[in-house]
A and B are shown apart, each in its own frame.
Chain A
Amino acid sequence: MTEDSSDYRHPLPELEGLTQEFYDLCKEGTLHFQRCAGCRAWRHVPREMCPECGSWDWAWAPSTGRGKVFSWTVVARALHPAFKDDTPYAPVIVEMDEGVRLLTQVTDVAPDALEIDMPVEVAFDAVTPEITLPRFRRAAA
């Protein structure tokens, strides 16, 4: 597991391979997704090759950082001990301008105030010295 000196006690991603690259770019302050050099398709989560056209060529491309709420659940009873004191909280699926979706949280909207298609923008959260998670906040329409 990731070791650090902070008191952050929630699960963290394992920094290896493409996942390390994804989170390192978050730490640098811009949300990036993979973009195929062949067919220009965006993709998330990171994959080795393009499932649309078969190309192995791709690059990390910057996202607008903007999207809208696609769906969510409100966890009233945590089923993982690390989230016991966080309830109610809402894991949210955000659909980005680029078309890819990611699982995240919207930090400044109460779970019962979330709405489908609500505009949101990325708001990075440096939870440890090594790891910055992309979370979101409400954006202007």
Chain B
Amino acid sequence: MAESNRSTAILESPIQVTDPACIVGIGETDYVRKPGSGMSALGIQLLAATRAIEEAGLTGKQIDGIMPFPNLGNAEAFAANLGCENLRFASIIHMGGAAPVASLRDAAAAVNSGAANYVLIPGGWNGYSGARVRQTVSQDVSSLPGGEIARDYYLPYGFTAPPQWYSVMARRHMHEFGTKPEQLGCIAVAMRKHAQLNPNAVMRGREMTLDDYLASPMLADPYRFFDCCIETDGAAAVVVTTAERARDLGKHPVSIMAGAAGQPYPADEITNRKDIFRTGLSLAAPEAFQKAGIKPSDIDFAQIYDCFTFEVLQQLEEVGFCKRGEGGPFVEGGRIELGGELPVNTHGGLLSEAHVLGINHIVEAVRQLRGDAGERQVRDAEIGVVTGWGDFGDGSIAILRR
């Protein structure tokens, strides 16, 4: 039924009045965990940006829109280095790790409205050799989600960092739905398996079993060491333009069928939510599927923002791949592995490829939809979903089509 309804639903969608915008260029640096590359945090992002721009068949002069990652750069500096002398659209989405995918939505709107022709979405850092995110978020109130609320009501009690903030949700999920540590382990193991097929994955060559996972030390119980993403040096970037310009470039464009973003309520305080599992994605996902005129069952793969394992499980539920509470059983039995019903994070994700702020998830989705994913190609991949998760549960989603 899903198959037969899909094409007509798209044709009848009242929202899509123009051809969807496209991703026409992707770029990445090497992803590494070792003493500094010698590049600055801006330099490493510029390297990824130049690769994405070149890959699109463009030059820096043609980039007239830039959406940097919050707190990791400003459009002026990117423009001054890349030679973007006609910059018209500069915007930063303050949603932490949900920003890049939310930026896809806004970049698409910008090019379709004429606010810009070519929008660059870069992101990256020296996340290993430079300032670790675990330190910056807890000691810099300006980059701390919740800002003064976190400073005045969380930090005095040692509630200082992302694995701690999110693990209280994971524990509650375990209590309410019986979710097991082994199920979180299935997610970590799946990401690690996928990384073995990815030459740029930090964890390639370092296989991991469920027993390895369970034996890893607790960090913020119920989060073990292997529930956590890997701080990495690296950067990635994508370029967005209109469908018409994408055709002119003669590349293999990937369409942004729909994009949406949302926030939990309240977004700046994580403990006082009536429904602790209602996150930004709970709002964004239904909007995106409605706009795209498809259903979760139409999706061939999902690149889910995996800062920690439970966030994958939780987002799979809120996207609608399974019902709330059923995420634990859903991730078992290889269902989210390559060859399974819904391959998740085919590049290895933040958990085993690299923490590049989820821009690497967009890059991987584009590779899959171009059929360029090599050993880890999802056969006949036509439609994929990418999500972002940030701050205290901000969410974003894009539905992409080849």
Contacts and interface: CB of A to CB of B under 8 A. Distances in A.
Contacts of A74: 218, 220-221
Contacts of A77: 217-220
Interface residues of B, number: 37
A73 B171 contact: yes
Interface string A15-50: 000010000000000000000000000011100000
Interface in A71-92: 71-80, 82-83, 86, 88-89, 91
B390 to A, nearest CB: 17
A77 B227 CA distance: 14
B148 A14 contact: yes
Nearest to B223: A73
B161 A80 contact: yes
A123 interface: no
Interface string B204-248: 000000000000011111110000000000000000000000000
A83 B271 CA distance: 21
Interface string A79-122: 11011001011010100000011111100000100001000000
B22 to A, nearest CB: 40
Contacts of A11: 151, 155-156, 160
Contacts of B149: 45
B148 A103 contact: no
B378 to A, nearest CB: 35
Contact of A79 (B134, B168, B217, B272): B134
A11 to B, nearest CB: 4
B222 to A, nearest CB: 8
Contacts of B169: 71
A110 to B, nearest CB: 12
Nearest to B153: A45
Interface of A: 10-14, 19, 43-45, 51, 70-80, 82-83, 86, 88-89, 91, 93, 100-105, 111, 116, 127, 133
Interface of B: 134-135, 138-139, 148-149, 151-161, 163-164, 167-169, 171-172, 175, 217-223, 266, 269, 271-272, 276
26 contacts: A11-B156, A12-B156, A13-B156, A14-B151, A14-B152, A45-B269, A51-B266, A70-B172, A71-B276, A73-B171, A73-B221, A74-B218, A75-B219, A76-B217, A79-B164, A80-B139, A80-B160, A89-B158, A91-B154, A91-B168, A93-B168, A100-B272, A103-B153, A103-B157, A111-B221, A116-B171
Q: Which 6 A-B pairs have the closest CB atoms?
A: A74-B221, A13-B152, A91-B159, A79-B161, A11-B155, A80-B160
